[in-house]
Structure 1
Amino acid sequence: MTGIGGVFQRAGGTASLRDWYAKHLGVDLAEFGGTQFAWGPGGSTTWAIFDADTDYFGRPDQAFMVNFRVTSLDGMLAQLRAEGVEVIDDVAESEYGRFGWAVDPEGTRFELWEPPPGQ
């Protein structure tokens, strides 16, 4: 793992919560519902608000999901499987990189992100 790629929050009133964070903390959220905080050359952490009914987090009662940045998604998923960790079989690929998911011992789903080469 090389850092936190993002933190995602589930909200009942998505638009009003986004407005609240913009007003009170000055967080300008993009159309996709999040923002990126740059922390160094080629690196950033995304924070985003998701609708309450999203299935992206796994369990409906999971309020947050953390995205961990990794250098090798396949290697990390294989390591977690070998250690008996529950790993979600799906791997997503896009122009933003490769994504996989696993679940910690308390049932909290987390995301693993391998950024595209050069990022």
Structure 2
Amino acid sequence: MVAGLLTVPFTVGAPNAAAVNDDTHIVGQGINQTIDCHGGTLIVNGSGNTINAFGTCWAVTVQGSSNTIIADTIVNDVTAYGFNQTVIFHNGDPALIDIGRQLGLGNRLNKIP
């Protein structure tokens, strides 16, 4: 009996798009800030914040109330918790996940020209 080793080439391709380790967390009340997403996720938690995000965001997550986020591009998803949240973006086709609306709260998640 002869024993042998069978070798099979194994390659794994990289995904076409993926999040990066450059997430931005903004936590507070009444913050007015402009940031560059750098391909990461923007996470806003608080109330009455206005955030302008230029560049490409992998995703945007907003929690709390009465936050406004204006983004150039969102790739993967927009997730809104809480109420009276506004997330508008110019480019991309992200999934729009409105947890607040599921609970009977009003949020606005919209693509605009």
Question: What TM-score, normalized by structure 2, do the two folds share?
Answer: 0.22
Higher strand share: 2
Whose RCO is larger (CA < 8 A, sep 6+)? 1
Higher helix share: 1
Structure number, greater radius of gyration: 2
